[in-house]
Every structure is written in structure tokens, then in C-alpha cells.
Amino acid sequence: MGQTDIRVTPIGLGTWQFSKQKNMAGKFWPTLEDNLVDRIVSLSIAGGINWFDTAEVYGRGESEKALSRALKEAGKKPGDVIVATKWWPMFRFASNIRETIGTRLELLDPYQIDLYQVHQPWSFSGETAEMTQMTELVNRKLIKTVGVSNFSARRMENSWKTLQKSGIPLASNQVRYSLLDRSIESNGVMELAKKLGVTIIAFSPLAQGLVTGKFHDNPGLLKNIGLRRYNPQFKPTGLEKSRPVINLVKELAEKYDVTPSQVALNWVIQYNGDTVVAIPGATKEAHVKENCGAMSFNLSGEDMERLDKVSSIFK
């Protein structure tokens, strides 16, 4: 993970879906019963995943609490897995990082916060003040490493510079990245991450399920996709724009005897070397098996270049 001593698997598990619909962010997903959450976490571990990403805003801590419970059910002791969470900055000052860390630790107890991230770049304070607060938490050994999320190249560099003054590396920048959203390759984020040695954590690496082709094959599914229906990529013109990518993903899935989602995930974690890791979510046991299976094969260089070419319109 960046220039830290934390080693993560190329695929982690995103846990937004553990929110129990407790706030607006949580209502994006159906309520998952505790036993299903436990199975998703235990199957992820059994499949080789060693890290989990959650956040304060996911159900006002419900996801953090559910993750801690599931890890305990799986028999994992503190230090056995890597836990990442995020501070929510909206309508807050940087001092709130220090004020709320106790709640984060309480909900995740007994697991430490290996990676603590600023969830968005918008707060009443700038990134310099936020990183100063994060530095204090590292020095007090309340967190192990620091990351950011949804930060532009400029904000990422400012964060890196502030942490560097205390000899602390900026571990990561968590951003949207998939075959159908490659904007970080054109806005400077990817280039700077490689230059500074910052890991890119790709969220929505399956473009909210779009890259699997299920909506292209069965448009009737679009009636039940919740808030995603407002995304232009799910409109008829958006589906047609991405169809060439979907067709190639399906072709390669047959070639490698894997699923389309595994092709898409494998490209995300391979194409930029060690710079990018991904955190797909899972609401079903089958999703977990697919996520883990994405680490079991390697697309050839030629096939990765074919995917690069056909998806370049999404840079």
C-alpha cells in the first residue's frame, strides 16, 4: 500500500453494502442480514482477500460495526487482516478527525485502523489541516497509515507534501476507476500516483455492474437498479457507447473460461502494474467467489492492450 509496510491483496472487499439502510448513503443498498454479511466476509477471507474497506458514512457506522462482528465470527484476531475506514468531512472542520476517532475505534474494536482516509475533499478545512490532524493520529498510534479519497492530483500532492514533513507517506487515493471510467488517466491523478508511489484504490471497478453486460443483455433489469438509473451510462445512448467494451470483455471471458466481471477486475488490477488495487463489493456469495477468482489468472499483455484500446473513449 503505497510506500508503507502494509501489504494488501490486489482485490479487497468494499463494504458500503453493509450499511443497513441507516442513512442516505446506506439506502443505496438493500438491508443484508447479519448471517449473509458474515458469510460474505468469511468467504472473502477463504478466497484469499486480506483487507476490507469501510467508512463512517456507510450507515453512520453500521458498516464498520458489521465488519467487526463478521471478522470476529470468522475467527480473525487483530492484525490478521487489514482494515481501512474513512472520515466523513462534509460540513466539518479538520479538528473533527481527532474528535471522532474514538467512535471509529469503538465500532471496529478490537481491530486497528490500518488505513484512515479522508472520504471527500470537501470540508470547512483544507487538506493541509486534515493531514496535520492525521499526522497526530499516526503519532499517537491510533491509526497506522493515511489515505485520501476522491482527491484531485493537486489536493493529493498537497496532502503528500504535508505528511512528508513528518516522514509519513501518503498511502493511497481511493477513486472511481474501471474500464468504463478511466478519467484518472487523463486528469493527472494516475500519473502523479505513480510518480509519488501512492496506491490507487479503485472503487466501482465494475462500473456498478455495467461492465458485466447484464444490462446490455437484459434491459428489463434497468427497472430495478435504484439510484443508478440516473447515471447517463445506464441510459440507452450510454449502453450503446459501452457496448464495444462489453463485447470484448465477454469474448475474453470465454477465452479464459472466467466471467466478464473477472476479466474487468483483472484488467483493473493488472494494467497499471502494482499501482492499482480494487475493492468490488458483494451482496451475494456468488459475487465473492467472482471477486476472489479475479486473482486466479492473468490476462495477456496483448489482451490488456485490446481492452485499453476499446475503452480509451472513457479516459
User: What is the Cα 138 distance to its own chain's centre?
Assistant: 22
Closest CA to 78 of 53, 109, 34, 42: 109
- E strand segments, the chain: 13-14, 51-53, 82-87, 113-118, 143-149, 170-176, 199-203, 276-278
Cα–Cα distance measured from residue 202 to residue 66, given in angstroms and rounded to the nearest whole number: 22
Cell (9 digits) for 165: 514533513
Active site residue 58: yes
Contacts of 183 (CB under 8 A, 6+ apart): 176, 314, 315
Which of 16, 1, 8 is closest to 208 using CA atoms?
16
Q: DSSP assignment, residue 84? A: E
Q: Which residues of 8-30 are buried (b: 16+ CB within 10 A; e: fewer)?
A: bbbbbbbbbbbbbeeeebbeebe
| Torsion, Cα of 195, 202, 310, 240 (10° steps) | -140
Q: Which residues contact 259 (CB under 8 A, 6 or more apart)?
A: 212, 253, 290, 293
CA dist 28 and 40 (Å) reads 18
In this structure, the number of other CB atoms found within 10 A of the CB of residue 298 comes to: 12
- Give the C-alpha separation, 129 to 151, whole Å: 15
Which residues are the active-site residues? 58
